Structure 1
């Protein structure tokens, strides 16, 4: 049975007047259980338009593009997404432990509280063992504002 866990997180704010990360870390919640703790303090609200870019990279002598890179209108996607897709898998996983469980506008800080990687998240998208980076860029008003990189180690 595969066992996966978060091993690193890096958060960047490209525009400190828009928002800053108050918290961006991994917490040890138990033996081999690692949770993501993230708090993005937003200074310009409401946010009515959100663009997102989701990329998956795999480590082969440095991280290289692997299988997936897409950009979408996050507000529209959150409102209308019913079909199974990689974006939906990621959004559903994050929504279980965050306040990103509604559509636009966003009038509050973004908080992710102890999100644990669960192999069930990827049931329909099996990945071979290895080290992966999920890179998420978020923007508003056609300007990239923040980036979150999460590294996952997938072992058999």
Structure 2
């Protein structure tokens, strides 16, 4: 009787410890490229590591074409499997319509909510000033991709293709790791 109880408790503890494995989000690289120099230019786009525990992502895009409206964003998620392969999401949203009604696309809303507290893209079109992402911390995203929408461990790439009149004018690639 005692041995059965001991075995059941041991199995429950092992299952609990297995389920409670913790993932850790970490930026590995960021790359911002402007193809349409008559529309947008990136002033800066970088990762900054203050110490071992505090890292953040910052970027600033200067709009050349003002007022800026009528754009789409293609969101693609890649996972590294012997090279980067498409994983889970590949969706395109009309930027202005999405900003008017963020609940129209649940994938885009999750991604938008992942950076909107740290940027000035929080109003509807048209945009009249520069687009700024200021100090998006690793801890904020760690909570979102490990607790809210858990992803499996691995290397990932999140690509944002900015489209204006069916031409890609900017590309932002965010590389990260879950371990």
Tell me if TM exceeds 0.5. Answer: yes
- Per the alignment, residue 128 of structure 1 pairs with 152
Q: Supply the distance in 2 between the matched residues of 1:128 and 1:108 (Cα, whole angstroms).
A: 38
CA RMSD between the two structures: 1.5
In structure 2, stretches of 5+ residues that fail to align are 1-21
Using the TM superposition, give the Cα deviation of residue 31 of structure 1 relative to its aligned residue in structure 2, in angstroms.
2.1
Query: TM-score by structure 1 length?
Result: 0.92
8 Å CA contact 2:34, 2:41 repeated in 1 = yes
Equivalent pairs, count: 155
- Give the one of 164, 172, 179 matched to 1:140: 164
Query: TM-score by structure 2 length?
Result: 0.81
Question: Which one has the largest radius of gyration?
Answer: 2
Q: Which structure has greater strand proportion?
A: 1
- Give the one of 43, 56, 72 matched to 2:77: 56
Q: Which structure has greater helix proportion?
A: 2
Using the TM superposition, give the Cα deviation of residue 84 of structure 1 relative to its aligned residue in structure 2, in angstroms.
7.4
Task: Please tell me whether residue 75 in structure 1 is matched to residue 99 in structure 2.
Answer: no
In structure 1, stretches of 5+ residues that fail to align are none
SS in 2 for 1:82: helix
**After TM superposition, where is structure 1 displaced by more than 6 Å over at least 4 residues in a row?**
none
Structure ranking higher on relative contact order (CA contacts 8 Å, 6+ apart): 1
Q: Supply the distance in 1 between the matched residues of 2:34 and 2:69 (Cα, whole angstroms).
A: 19
Q: Supply the distance in 1 between the matched residues of 2:53 and 2:85 (Cα, whole angstroms).
A: 26
Using the TM superposition, give the Cα deviation of residue 60 of structure 1 relative to its aligned residue in structure 2, in angstroms.
1.2
Q: Supply the distance in 2 between the matched residues of 1:46 and 1:84 (Cα, whole angstroms).
A: 25
